[in-house]
């Protein structure tokens, strides 16, 4: 798994053109985008913890976009996504992405 910050520093040190500076996205990605001499874009991505506040907002947006419970259950074999989303606890603020590099 790449360390986006280390790759960013190494590429900048050798003069590679940075197209998108190193940044952390709330949806769980740290990344930097560079261009090679032929303008081929390379996006170096590293998994990072998802921002719990961002995730909570996404859940609320999804809940608001769903039809009412009765309509949501029709044709879905009785599965009510709205009730399911309300019953699943939000992620723990200490959530960490597992390191599968070994």
Distance between CA atoms of residues 102 and 95, nearest Å: 20
pTM (2 d.p.): 0.54
The secondary structure of the chain in percent helix, strand, coil, rounded to multiples of 5, reads: 35, 25, 40
pLDDT tens digits for the chain (102 residues)?
668 889 899 999 999 999 999 999 998 999 999 998 899 999 999 999 988 888 888 777 776 676 665 554 444 555 566 666 666 666 555 545 444 444
Q: Radius of gyration (Cα) for the chain, nearest Å? A: 20
The domain limits of the chain are 4-47, 52-87
CA-based nearest residue to 49, from 84, 25, 85: 25
Identify whether the C-beta of residue 31 lies closer than 8 Å to the C-beta of residue 7: no
- CATH 3.40.50.170 for domain 4-47, yes or no, is no
């Amino acid at each position: 798994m790449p360390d986006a910050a280390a790759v960013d520093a190494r590429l900048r040190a050798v003069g590679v053109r940075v197209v998108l500076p190193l940044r952390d996205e709330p949806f769980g990605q740290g990344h930097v985008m560079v261009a090679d001499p032929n303008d081929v874009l390379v996006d170096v991505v590293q998994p990072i913890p998802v921002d719990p506040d961002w995730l909570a907002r996404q859940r609320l947006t999804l809940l608001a976009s769903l039809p009412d419970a009765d309509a949501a259950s029709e044709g879905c074999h009785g599965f009510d996504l709205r009730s399911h989303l309300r019953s699943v606890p939000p992620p723990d603020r200490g959530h960490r992405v597992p390191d599968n590099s070994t």
